[in-house]
Amino acid sequence: MHRDELKELFKKSKALLEGHFKLSSGLHSNIYFQSALILQYPRKTTRLAEELVRKIKEVNIRVDVVLSPAMGGVIVGYEVGRLLDVRAMFTERIDGYVALRRGFSLHKGERVLIVEDVITTGVSTKEVMNSIEPIGAEVVAVVSLVDRSAGKVNFAKVPRFSLLSLEVKNYKKFECPLCKVGIKIIKPGSRK
């Protein structure tokens, strides 16, 4: 799937939004990816997950478990796990910290693929990585549908793959040109 084709798929699904948005990181942006609007369609989700799996298989990365942060990565993570025929789990935020819950567990030495929907600053992904580090599981790669940082986020020598990589401007509140001209801000994400 080519970049333009994927971008068009996001637009047609109304998952690529333009306006003034407050991201879950607290940053502001004029672009927002609401991946849930694509992931509500199982065939589109399967198609996207197949592309992620193809990238993993091209470089011969072996995976025991798929792990995604809730909420955004859960659906695509499950589908990637299904296609790889491995367990698919997710982390949740509890009292400000990311953790495995619901009886999910990892074992020392298991090879973990972290699957995200959208990477902006990489904080959520790094929190997932940090949450499993004490267990001794090994993060073998990070994949995402969209990378808003155009590859600038570093995951400490862990390979990363995204279907769509763009450099999208993000602003701190006091630097935001959209705030300065009085454009109303929207907070569409899953985190309060």
pLDDT tens track for 158-167: 999 999 888 8
Q: In tens digits, what is the pLDDT along the chain, a chain of 192 residues?
A: 777 888 888 888 888 888 999 988 788 999 888 888 899 999 999 999 999 999 999 999 999 999 999 888 899 999 999 999 999 999 988 888 888 888 888 999 999 999 999 888 888 899 999 888 889 999 999 999 999 888 888 888 899 999 988 888 889 989 999 999 999 998 876 555
What is the three-class DSSP state of 123? helix
- What CATH number is attached to the domain comprising 174? 3.40.50.2020
How much is the pTM? 0.87
User: Does residue 131 lie in a domain region?
Assistant: yes
Full DSSP string of 52-106: HHHHHHHTT---SEEEEETTTTHHHHHHHHHHHTSEEEEEEEETTEEEE-TT---
* Whole-angstrom distance, CA of residue 48 vs CA of residue 45: 5
User: Does residue 159 lie in a domain region?
Assistant: yes
Q: How many domains does the chain have?
A: 1
User: Does residue 22 lie in a domain region?
Assistant: yes
The percentage of residues in the chain with a pLDDT greater than 90, rounded to a whole number, is 51
* Whole-angstrom distance, CA of residue 62 vs CA of residue 56: 8
Domain that holds residue 136: 3-180
* Whole-angstrom distance, CA of residue 93 vs CA of residue 143: 20
User: Does residue 148 lie in a domain region?
Assistant: yes
* Whole-angstrom distance, CA of residue 90 vs CA of residue 164: 22
